[in-house]
Amino acid sequence: MFSSQSFKDGVKHAIGVPALGLGSSMFAFGAFLHSAGFDLYQSFLSTFFTFALPGQFVMAETILAGGTLLNIFLAVLLTNSRLYPMTVNITPVIRNSNIPKWKEYLGAHFIAVTSWFNFFAVEKSINQEDKFDYFFGLGGFLWANSVLCTVAGYLFSNLVSHEILIGLVFINPMYFLVMTVSNLKEKKLICSIFLGAVLSILLNDLFPGWSVLIAGITSGTLGYFIFRKEINE
Amino acid sequence: MSNQFIYLSILAASVGTYFCRAFGVFSARNIKTDSEIFHWIRCVSIAIISAVIARIILFPVGILSETSTSIRIVCTLILLVVYFSFKKNVIFAVSSSAICFVLLNHFL
């Protein structure tokens, strides 16, 4: 059963800081595509179908560097592979027997760092049967807002200086960082966060393309096993 | 770069990205929220996000790479100090950091 109230609550949650944090960087991405010679439809389609900013930047830069389609596919797959564990993590939480499978696969398109963090920030206060619709409203709004902001960035890029655009791109990692440190509550998450950051820096020269994945899997596994006895809140 | 190639590139990027999400839904079909694997995958997810952030700050690609590492580190510290000093105010922390970032890039 679709709960329009939960959907609306999810949309309300997205309006404000989450939409601003992600939208500002999508605006900068749209402006970047304009300056790189892409057209408006291509900018629109990129966010409409991908909705994962680091991978979108990698796609655009691989095109500009003269990469092949296979290069682009593999580079984006590797960059956006973080979405796999995030989806495995959130799917059992929002699952409910009334939700058809196709809707689960559709909702997966809205999984991104911003929607993931914001959903988990309030997840415990939402009834189980309402969680999917809440996430659908939250993630769906962030996605629609991102598409609009990409198009706005493309159209109005001439009105914004290059320095401001760089500042807008910087907002996204800063917002991610704030959301991450807001999770410094459980020991296993604290350990995973610190180890993940340190290892990815240390491994960057050794495995430039793989450092994030290797660091994330190693750190998450260590954090989990070291503090396995900790009560899961 | 032809228009057709860009459209095909967007398609390739979209397929690569959606594969990660769809395979995640498929893999989660038997995972329960009280299972060990659920808690392990949460730790891995957050560690990967933390690794991504560290990489963006220290080894960015794209237009952020035009800025200096020291400015990015200083503005990250400003974010954390403001966040923890002002009752974890997200808007104030992020906007302070971003404004300082723009100003430092302009004047230094």
**How many Cβ atoms from other residues are within 10 Å of residue A159's Cβ?**
8
- Please check whether residue A149 touches B, CB under 8 A: no
Task: Give pLDDT tens digits for A85-135.
Answer: 999 999 999 998 889 999 999 999 999 999 999 999 999 999 999 999 999
- Please check whether residue A216 touches B, CB under 8 A: yes
- Please check whether residue A108 touches B, CB under 8 A: yes
Q: Output the pLDDT for position A231.
A: 59
Task: Report how many Cβ contacts below 8 Å link chain A to chain B.
Answer: 290
Interchain contact, A170 vs B22, CB within 8 Å: no
Kindly tell me if the per-residue pLDDT of A146 is higher than 70: yes
Burial A40-64 (b: 16+ CB within 10 A, else e): eebbbbbbbbbbbbbbbbbbbbbbe
Task: Give pLDDT tens digits for A11-69.
Answer: 999 998 899 989 999 999 999 999 889 999 999 999 999 999 989 999 999 999 899 99
Nearest by CB to residue A212, choosing from B55, B88, B106, is B55
Query: Which of B105, B12, B46 shows the shortest CA–CA distance to A63?
Result: B12
Interchain contact, A170 vs B98, CB within 8 Å: yes
Query: What is the DSSP code (8-state) at residue A231?
Result: P
The A residues from 128 to 147 touching B (CB cutoff 8 Å) are none
Kindly tell me if the per-residue pLDDT of B34 is higher than 80: yes
* Contacting residues of A for B80, CB less than 8 Å apart: 177, 181
Could you tell me the sign of the dihedral formed by the alpha carbons of A221, A225, A226, A232, in that order? positive
Mean pLDDT of A139-148: 97
- Annotated domain spans of chain B: 1-30, 31-64, 67-108
- The pair of structure tokens assigned to A4 is 């329009």
- The pair of structure tokens assigned to A191 is 């350990």
Query: Which of A141, A134, A136 shows the shortest CA–CA distance to A104?
Result: A136
A182/A173 Cα distance (integer angstroms)? 14
Kindly tell me if the per-residue pLDDT of B1 is higher than 80: no
* Contacting residues of B for A204, CB less than 8 Å apart: 55, 58-59
Could you tell me the sign of the dihedral formed by the alpha carbons of A121, A136, A114, A218, in that order? positive
Query: Are B43 and A193 spatial neighbours (Cβ–Cβ below 8 Å)?
Result: no
- Please check whether residue A111 touches B, CB under 8 A: yes
Task: Give pLDDT tens digits for B16-33.
Answer: 999 999 999 999 999 999
The secondary structure element, H or E, covering residue A53 is helix A53-64
Nearest by CB to residue A181, choosing from B8, B38, B83, is B83
Q: Which residue of A has its CA nearest to B12?
A: A73
Radius of gyration of chain A (CA): 18
Interchain contact, A38 vs B6, CB within 8 Å: yes
A104/B25 Cα distance (integer angstroms)? 7
Interchain contact, A88 vs B41, CB within 8 Å: yes
Task: Give pLDDT tens digits for B55-93.
Answer: 999 998 878 889 999 999 999 999 999 999 998 899 999
Interchain contact, B45 vs A169, CB within 8 Å: no
The per-residue DSSP string of A170-185 comes to HHHHHHHHHHHHTTTT
Interchain contact, A164 vs B76, CB within 8 Å: no
Kindly tell me if the per-residue pLDDT of A232 is higher than 60: no
Amino acid at A78: L
Query: Are A51 and A112 spatial neighbours (Cβ–Cβ below 8 Å)?
Result: yes
A115/A122 Cα distance (integer angstroms)? 11
Mean pLDDT of B104-108: 89
Mean pLDDT of A151-164: 92
Mean pLDDT of B6-10: 96
Angle, alpha carbons A140-A144-A150 (nearest 5°): 145
**How many Cβ atoms from other residues are within 10 Å of residue A213's Cβ?**
22
Q: Considering all CA atoms of chain B, what is the largest pairwise distance in Å, rounded to the nearest integer?
A: 55
Task: Give pLDDT tens digits for A180-212.
Answer: 998 788 899 999 999 999 999 999 999 888 899
Query: Are A123 and A91 spatial neighbours (Cβ–Cβ below 8 Å)?
Result: no
Most B CBs within 10 A among A118, A124, A161, A177, hence the mutation to make, goes to A177
